[in-house]
């Protein structure tokens, strides 16, 4: 069954204040201001200035080594948070006017907004015995590419044995039409779905934006254009429509794309939005996720790296495989690199497939990260002048994006170079493998790609060498039984933690909101005339459910008949209790 990390967890709209003195909102205020969706997010965390996913001029996104503090705190508990741990944390953040903005369901990750300097606020909770990691919200950056020209053929297809004159990976997929049943997520600057070479590749419901300051945090977005160009370039390499007499052919042949915009027009984005995007992909049945973004080791720091790994482990444990650009600081030419060949994250994290870049000659590209933490290499291009146009990589470009840096590029396309261009080719190979056998697990895909790569190409640049699509497809066995086109992902067992996914209930009929005693609207669940811990225990047990009218005890403290968003017991009800309880001690 499909992973369902969050099923519309309707809660406070912007963020609800866990400060004892804050006034209780009216029902109108609640509906207008205190409702937001804790959209799925259990994913990975990468920040700072990581991979070379594209952009305008230089090889790497210019990101300072020491990130500017945000006003949001990323907090990871040692265990999944509950009522007590959240109350304790809110008390410690009271001097900073801390506001809980959201969290990653089925995880230990939450986000607080603070009115003071985020680093100062972090020190106020660092000693909390329930807190494992706290840090100002890191940012992620698209990998920038150079202004270098062109190439006239897709030399990358033959270099990776995807397509060409002799038998290749495409020939080893028994039914190439089966690729249309596979979907790969591209978390980036968005994708221009109106591009003729991407026609039919992105459904209306698969054009999504993730923004943790929005309600809901991940949503279908008809205005979610690619205002940069990088995401559209990645999408073309992965899934441009083949055999249509125009443009280029994507590695994944008929593979569909889930476009999730998590980066802004300048190629930057918050770590939380990447978390949300990855979790959204998993929740919608996607196993392979392409990430051409990230941050340097120095910009993340030890806490950021640890948090990144925790998030990636969560994705891996749920069946997802993140294919990540290794980064473009191999020669340290960009000031944002902070040095030569630094480790980049999440590329250097465990449980990812990290991809470096090679040139037309099979040598490691000068800009590419290299080392045994890079899993494999794939074509990324390397062109230093217009006379070397054939060494660059051509792909689709957004009509709403920045001007393509190579003026001689065909209309609607752009020549680029970088590890950002390498990773989607590997993601396309993974899609071909799933088309041949949809039952493959993330561990099997990773192991096959590693074991079939060519170690003699670009030796020392990666652990396993140049990816070989033909060899990988040869190693994939055709299942004996007819599989479902999209492999299912194993979901978590029903959790008992604070941010558990709510129980799915049928549409409610009849009254559910009639209160059974005078103090019920203030948090008296058991109607004993006292608002105390026993009432919060009732709320905790009933969280995510709908209870009939006049049920005693009932944790549904804020409810409007006919408003389906208020009938489920959620975080708003907890906030009602929290503001009225006589037992709260910061």
At 140, phi and psi to the nearest 5?
Answer: -115, 155
Burial grade of 165 (CB within 10 A; 0-12, 13-18, 19 or more)? exposed
Going by C-alpha positions, the residue among 554, 552, 558 that lies closest to residue 573 is 558
Residue 130's H or E segment, with its range, is none
Are the C-beta atoms of residues 156 and 413 closer than 8 Å to each other?
A: no
Distance (Å, whole) CA 489 – CA 475: 22
The C-alpha angle with vertex 464 and arms to 49 and 380, in degrees rounded to 5, equals 50
Distance (Å, whole) CA 6 – CA 263: 22
The residues assigned a catalytic role are 188, 230, 420
Are the C-beta atoms of residues 76 and 158 closer than 8 Å to each other?
A: no
Distances (CA, A) of 288 to 165, 315, 472: 28, 11, 16
487-519 exposure pattern, b = at least 16 Cβ within 10 A, e = fewer: bebebbeeeebbbbbbeeeeebeeebbebeeeb
Going by C-alpha positions, the residue among 330, 362, 391 that lies closest to residue 455 is 362
62: how many CB neighbours lie within 10 A of its CB? 14
Are the C-beta atoms of residues 279 and 39 closer than 8 Å to each other?
A: yes
Alpha-carbon torsion (445, 451, 457, 458), positive or negative: positive
Are the C-beta atoms of residues 325 and 423 closer than 8 Å to each other?
A: yes
Are the C-beta atoms of residues 323 and 355 closer than 8 Å to each other?
A: yes
DSSP letter for each residue of 492-509: PPPP-STTPPPPP-PPP-
Distances (CA, A) of 442 to 237, 287, 320, 478, 489: 21, 7, 6, 16, 10
Going by C-alpha positions, the residue among 357, 336, 349 that lies closest to residue 237 is 357
Residues in the chain, total: 586
Angle between helices 533-542 and 83-92 (to 10 degrees): 120
What SS3 class is residue 183?
Answer: strand
């Amino acid at each position: 069954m499909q992973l369902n990390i969050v099923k519309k967890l309707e809660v406070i709209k912007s963020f609800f204040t866990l400060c004892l003195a804050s006034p209780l909102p009216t029902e109108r205020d609640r509906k207008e201001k205190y409702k937001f969706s804790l959209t799925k997010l259990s994913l990975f965390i990468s920040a700072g200035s990581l991979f070379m996913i594209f952009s305008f001029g230089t090889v790497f996104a210019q990101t300072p080594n020491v990130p500017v503090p945000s006003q949001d705190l990323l907090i990871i508990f040692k265990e999944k948070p509950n009522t007590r741990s959240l109350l304790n944390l809110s008390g410690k953040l009271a001097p900073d006017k801390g506001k809980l903005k959201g969290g990653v369901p089925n995880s230990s990750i939450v986000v607080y907004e603070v009115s003071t300097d985020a680093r100062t606020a972090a020190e106020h909770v660092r000693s909390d015995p329930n807190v494992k990691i706290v840090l100002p919200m890191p940012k992620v950056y698209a990998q920038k590419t150079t202004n270098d020209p062109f190439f006239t053929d897709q030399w990358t297809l033959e270099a990776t044995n995807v397509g060409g004159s002799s038998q290749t990976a495409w020939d080893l997929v028994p039914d190439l039409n089966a690729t249309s049943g596979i979907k790969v997520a591209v978390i980036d600057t968005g994708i221009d779905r109106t591009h003729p070479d991407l026609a039919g590749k992105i459904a209306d419901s698969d054009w999504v934006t993730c923004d943790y300051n929005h309600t809901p945090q991940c949503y279908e977005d008809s205005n979610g254009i690619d205002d940069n160009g990088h995401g559209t370039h990645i999408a073309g390499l992965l899934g441009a429509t083949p055999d249509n007499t125009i443009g280029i052919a994507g590695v994944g042949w008929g593979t569909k794309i889930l476009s999730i915009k998590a980066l802004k027009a300048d190629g930057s984005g918050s770590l939380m939005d990447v978390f949300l995007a990855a979790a959204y992909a998993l929740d919608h049945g996607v196993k392979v996720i392409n990430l051409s973004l990230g941050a340097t080791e120095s910009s993340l720091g030890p806490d950021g790296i640890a948090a990144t790994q925790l998030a990636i482990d969560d994705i891996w444990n749920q069946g997802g495989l993140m294919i990540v650009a290794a980064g473009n600081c191999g020669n340290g030419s960009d000031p944002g690199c902070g040095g030569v060949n630094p480790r980049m994250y999440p590329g250097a994290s465990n449980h990812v497939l990290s991809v470096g870049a090679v040139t037309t000659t099979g040598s490691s590209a000068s800009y590419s990260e290299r080392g045994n933490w890079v899993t494999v290499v794939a074509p990324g291009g390397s062109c230093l002048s217009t006379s070397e146009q054939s060494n660059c990589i051509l792909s689709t470009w957004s009509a709403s994006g920045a001007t393509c840096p190579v003026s001689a590029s065909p209309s609607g396309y752009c020549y680029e170079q970088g590890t950002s261009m390498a990773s989607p080719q590997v993601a396309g190979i993974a899609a071909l493998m799933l088309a041949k056998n949809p039952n493959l697990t993330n561990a099997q895909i990773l192991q096959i790609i590693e074991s079939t790569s060519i170690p003699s190409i670009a030796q020392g640049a990666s652990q396993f060498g140049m990816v070989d699509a033909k060899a990988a497809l040869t190693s994939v066995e055709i299942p004996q039984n007819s599989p479902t086109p999209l492999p299912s992902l194993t979901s978590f067992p029903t959790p008992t933690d604070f941010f558990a996914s709510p129980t799915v209930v049928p549409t409610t009929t009849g009254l559910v909101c009639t209160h059974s005693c005078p103090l019920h609207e203030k948090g008296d669940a058991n109607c004993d005339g006292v608002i105390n811990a026993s009432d919060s225990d009732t709320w905790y047990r009933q969280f995510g459910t709908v209870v009939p009218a006049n049920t005693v005890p009932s944790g549904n403290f804020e409810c409007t008949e006919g408003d389906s968003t208020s009938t489920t017991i959620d975080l708003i009800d907890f906030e009602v209790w929290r503001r009225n309880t006589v037992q709260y001690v910061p």
